[in-house]
């Protein structure tokens, strides 16, 4: 991936952050916060891409559902499409090209500041945060190399490289205003969930079998936040 990134037009800074876990989480001692404050105050990034918890299959940790609905394993989430007006097209192209992954965009406000993108969001930098959320062994002693799904990780790497190429070619210096990408969210959620979506929507707080607005997505997020820990 690093060799491929050398062919991009823009300069790429690759950083591995530390001090993300408690007691440093959401404090000024987080590695990402210190990096942004100490080294990036004068930089206007074209885009900031954060990856966290991407090397496991996505599961809602309800064994019956996880075993029966196999497509859930391919779900991966991307937060931040709202932070730049050009991100919707870029994310949709990336989703279409991703192999073995079902990319689902959502808003940061639904799962607020769960990782290192927080520092850059607060600095008003456009960002995209990619994650599969908490896994069965996240933040436990079993959160080790034996747990990693290397095939899934390779797919995420390929998708991220595709995303980086799309970002590199886009005129991100213009149209930096935030947007509401609700139409993108609905389209990609339909693509990811397929025929299952209308079957589960009535149980997700929408009261209907289809999605047509931000309010529908708000209701789903509220329901999931009460019942699923991501």
Instruction: Give the DSSP letter string of 141-156.
Output: TT-SGGG--HHHHHHH
pLDDT attached to residue 229: 59
Bridge partners, residue 110, by sequence: none
SS3 22: coil
Q: What angle do CA 216, 219, 220 make, to 5 degrees?
A: 90
Q: Where are the domains of the chain?
A: 2-189
Q: DSSP secondary-structure letter at 53?
A: S
CB-CB contact of 68 with 199 (8 Å): no
Q: How many helices (H) and strands (E) does the chain have?
A: 9, 4
Q: What is the pLDDT along the chain (230 residues), one digit of tens a residue?
A: 777 777 889 999 999 998 888 888 888 999 999 999 999 999 999 999 999 999 988 876 666 566 657 788 899 999 999 999 999 999 999 999 999 999 999 999 998 898 999 999 999 999 999 999 888 888 788 888 888 899 999 999 999 999 999 999 999 987 778 899 999 999 999 999 998 899 888 888 788 899 999 999 999 999 888 766 55
CB-CB contact of 108 with 133 (8 Å): no
CB-CB contact of 114 with 209 (8 Å): no
């Amino acid at each position: 991936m690093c060799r491929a990134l050398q062919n991009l037009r823009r300069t790429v800074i690759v950083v591995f952050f530390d001090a993300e876990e408690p007691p440093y989480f959401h404090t000024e001692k987080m590695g990402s916060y210190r990096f942004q404050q100490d080294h990036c105050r004068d930089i206007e990034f074209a885009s900031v891409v954060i990856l966290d918890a991407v090397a496991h299959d996505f599961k809602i940790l309800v064994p019956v559902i996880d075993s029966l609905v196999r497509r859930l394993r391919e779900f991966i989430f991307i937060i931040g499409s709202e932070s730049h007006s050009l991100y919707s097209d870029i994310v949709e192209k990336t989703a279409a090209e991703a192999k073995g992954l079902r990319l689902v965009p959502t808003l940061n406000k639904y799962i607020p500041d769960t990782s290192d993108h927080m520092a850059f969001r607060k600095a008003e930098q456009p960002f995209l945060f990619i994650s599969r959320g908490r896994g069965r062994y996240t933040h436990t002693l079993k959160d080790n190399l034996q747990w990693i799904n290397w095939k899934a990780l390779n797919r995420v790497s390929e998708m991220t490289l595709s995303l980086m190429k799309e970002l590199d070619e886009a005129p991100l210096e213009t149209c930096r205003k935030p947007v509401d990408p609700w139409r993108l969210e609905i389209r990609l959620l339909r693509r990811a969930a397929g025929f299952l979506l209308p079957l589960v929507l009535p149980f997700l707080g929408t009261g209907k079998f289809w999605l047509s607005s931000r309010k529908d997505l708000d209701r789903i997020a509220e329901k999931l936040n009460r019942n699923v820990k991501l």
